[in-house]
Amino acid sequence: MKLAFFDEFKLGVVKGDAIHDVSAVVKDIPHAGPGDLMNSLIGEFDLYRSKLEAAATGSGTKLASVRIRAPLPKPGNIVCMAVNYMEDGTLAKPAPINAFHKAPSAIIGPGDTMVLPDVPATIFEGEAEMAVVIGKRASVVSAADAMDHVFGYINFIDGSARGLPPPGNVFFQMKSRDTFAPIGPYLVTKEEIEDPQKLPIKLWVNGDLKQSFNTDDMAHNIARCIEWVTSIHTLEPGDILATGTNHRGLSSFMDGDVVELETQGLGRLRFNIRDQLKRTWSRETRLDRQKKNEEGPTHQLTGKHAKTA
């Protein structure tokens, strides 16, 4: 099942090119807003699945005529795995398993705008990822049982403001900025995805393909990530666990960009970039630079905070 919020955060089930309003089915779920509603629905989904399926009949409304919103507006946790790909076999061994938190206020949805702040970042990037959505409370879960705690999957962008001073004071100010976690367009329940460890992921910037990789290149698979994270803290229904990216295709995000992310089976997420400072960078990817024996992201070319030679 593909779940989505649309227009004024009405709950819908997506089938083909149509969305079916099923908000009446869940009106009995106590909630203060759409985020609470979705989290509670996920936690009690067995009670509502058949009702949602029964309500999602008929012709529905054409997706092209509605505004699709972020499917998880208020996750309790956003946990992002760090350096969790083998980079197309270029890494000699997996990096030690690691992760970081991203603020829930970073969430935006399809058609929304990632805003680049006035900070001296060396570059702004967005990492294409497939994220896991937790379906039931998970604490000290074994890898063998981990997939039983998965509700579904979403497209996820991990926005980054890299290189902020002082050195070593990195992840919080780089990752947790408002609008730095675009997700969507749908929340796809797990039975729709035959094998989440064999999914192609692609990211385009203004129509140019920048990232293209497969989830089979993960250094630590989904089950191991859940096992490790839940050994540290509990995950609740509606929490997001982003599984990492292949960094070789990363490139700059700049004002006016239109970014699209598609993971097989999860739909295509499209969002915009705005930078009031109109800063510019080269369009080179990390892989482009590696081929020239240059490491890391490209340097800022013009605008405020650019470093002169």
Q: What percent of the chain has pLDDT over 90?
A: 95
Mean pLDDT within 152-180: 94
What tokens were used for 75? 């996750």
Q: Identify the pLDDT of residue 287.
A: 93
Q: Identify the pLDDT of residue 104.
A: 97
* pLDDT over 80 (residue 110): yes
Mean pLDDT within 304-309: 79
DSSP state of 223: H
Kind plus residue range of the DSSP H or E element containing 151: strand 150-162
User: Looking at beta carbons, which pairs linking 27-35 to residues 24 or more positions away fall under 8 Å?
Assistant: 33/9, 33/73, 33/74, 34/5, 34/9, 34/69, 34/73, 34/74, 35/72, 35/73, 35/74, 35/75, 35/238
* pLDDT over 70 (residue 308): no
* pLDDT over 90 (residue 201): yes
Q: How far apart are CA 119 and CA 177, in angstroms?
A: 11
Q: Identify the pLDDT of residue 169.
A: 81
Q: Identify the pLDDT of residue 309.
A: 44
pLDDT tens per residue across span 225-255: 999 999 999 999 999 999 999 999 999 999 9
Q: Identify the pLDDT of residue 168.
A: 84
Do 262 and 268 contact (CB within 8 A), yes or no?
A: yes
Mean pLDDT within 187-196: 98
Q: What percent of the chain has pLDDT over 70?
A: 99
* pLDDT over 90 (residue 270): yes
Q: How far apart are CA 32 and CA 117, in angstroms?
A: 30
49 Cα distance to chain centroid: 24
At which residue do the structure tokens 């292949």 appear?
246
Mean pLDDT within 114-126: 97
Residue 191 amino acid letter? E
pLDDT tens per residue across span 85-109: 999 989 999 999 999 999 999 999 9
Q: How far apart are CA 53 and CA 20, in angstroms?
A: 10
